[in-house]
Structure 1
Amino acid sequence: MFILGLTGGIASGKSTVSNYLASKNIPIVDADIGAREVVEVGTEGLQSIVTHFDKEVLSEDGSLNRKKLGAIIFDNETKRELLNQLLGTNIREWILTKVADYRRQDIPLLVLDIPLLYEASYQEVCDAVMVVYTPPEIQLERLIKRNGLTTKEAQDRINSQLSIEKKKQLADILIDNSNKIEDTYLQIDEWLDKMKF
């Protein structure tokens, strides 16, 4: 089984690429789903967030209020690091369990869709890493438009990740997503054909 890591910067179009690969019946392990599952009500993950960030990050029903937590961590690197440390192990276990399940199914290609792939050293479990790239100015523009953020809020979110230029340098496969969506799909198809998937 070939494990392809998929990452990019926020608003670079990683989800577009992930959805396109999924449309070709390629299984995807989505770290964002894992990140949600490990903080569901009653989990060890949610308990450790409450212990370190207080009950103010909970909604009335006792579930995690992502918006409140996001507001706390995005412009505070120390708190963001703390959150990553608290949940990193739970998320890694979730991802590696999924990988093991797929390995037993004997599939040719598995995609690990992980926003913080390099930041959390997941490249070590991948055979290659595909980075979805857009120039920083397009990334900023798309994020402001998509999330209705101010320039500062959007820049804070972008700065909370390894820079897209650095990810571009580290990539084994680079998908340029700054033009038409058809161009993006074509680049993916070319890689799949070359690899015979």
Structure 2
Amino acid sequence: MANPTTAGKFIVIEGLEGAGKSSAIALVRDFLHQLNGAEPVCTREPGGTPTAEKIRDLVKQVSNEDPLCDEAECLLMYAARAQLVANVIKPALAKGDWVLGDRHNLSSLAYQGGGRGLLPLVQAVSRATLGDFAPDLTLYLDIPPSLGLARAANRGALDRIEQQAIEFFERARDTYLALAAADANIEVIDATQPLEKVHADILAVLKQRLVD
């Protein structure tokens, strides 16, 4: 495979529940390994550092005694993200490593901003914690919420966010698509297609965007 155009890029996979992020991440990881001769640094959000993983547990688990309010969810997401960016992602990029992320800021804009209706808060906290830091390329796997949630239910028990009403995910999807339409660094992949076609589309984008 040809050499990458530059070193140290940050690639992110996004999508609603059931969109197929796990298989896409495996595909992209293998592609980047072949491209660069080294495994990318793989992260997930929320999570990716000891502190951020503790926050992930708080965000994902259902608590009837002390339900997590929407604003607290948003702030916790950014606390975890700030830890990950400062302690893992930026140091890796500074060394010239490639980073592959399972979700990043676009998730909060879609889920907490669109789904929860907290877009002004999300945008303000994003600016305060991330500034102009952003992925070099985001692959958004697009799927209707009804199909994605059906797939997710087949995997087993749903976490707190996965248990939200379908209208929540419809608002999140609308936000994803609107943001993707306005950002040249976000590529939309039709995740309703057969897996082989989804993967072929992902590889086509990677080759176009990352290979000389």
Scaled by the length of structure 1, the TM-score of the pair is: 0.66
Measure how far apart 1:91 and its partner are.
1.5
1:152 and 1:85 mapped to 2: Cα distance? 16
1:39 aligns with: 51
Q: What letter matches 1:96 in structure 2?
A: K
RCO higher in structure (CA 8 A, sep ≥6): 1
Q: What letter matches 1:188 in structure 2?
A: I
1:20 aligns to what SS in structure 2?
helix
Q: What letter matches 1:195 in structure 2?
A: R
1:145 aligns with: 154
1:39 and 1:150 mapped to 2: Cα distance? 20
1:58 aligns with: none
Contact 1:140 1:151 in 2 (8 A): no
Residues 1-197 of structure 1 mapped to structure 2, 5 A cutoff: 1=6, 2-24=9-31, 25=33, 27-32=39-44, 35-39=47-51, 66=57, 70-72=61-63, 76-93=69-86, 94-101=88-95, 103=96, 110-118=98-106, 119=108, 120=126, 124-149=133-158, 154-155=163-164, 159=168, 163-171=172-180, 172-195=186-209, 197=211
2:167 and 2:144 mapped to 1: Cα distance? 12
2:172 and 2:190 mapped to 1: Cα distance? 15
2:11 and 2:161 mapped to 1: Cα distance? 33
Scaled by the length of structure 2, the TM-score of the pair is: 0.62
RMSD (Å), alpha carbons: 3.8
2:60 and 2:19 mapped to 1: Cα distance? 23
Q: What letter matches 1:146 in structure 2?
A: R
Task: Extract unaligned runs of 5+ from structure 2.
Answer: 1-5, 109-125, 181-185
Q: What letter matches 1:18 in structure 2?
A: I
| Sequence identity (%) | 16
Change (3 A) 1:128 1:145: same
1:162 and 1:113 mapped to 2: Cα distance? 23
Q: What letter matches 1:95 in structure 2?
A: I
Measure how far apart 1:186 and its partner are.
0.9
Contact 2:12 2:138 in 1 (8 A): yes
Counting matched residue pairs gives 170
2:118 aligns with: none
2:164 aligns to what SS in structure 1?
helix
Task: Extract unaligned runs of 5+ from structure 1.
Answer: 50-63
Change (3 A) 1:157 1:146: farther
1:33 and 1:150 mapped to 2: Cα distance? 15
Q: What letter matches 1:81 in structure 2?
A: C
1:174 and 1:145 mapped to 2: Cα distance? 24
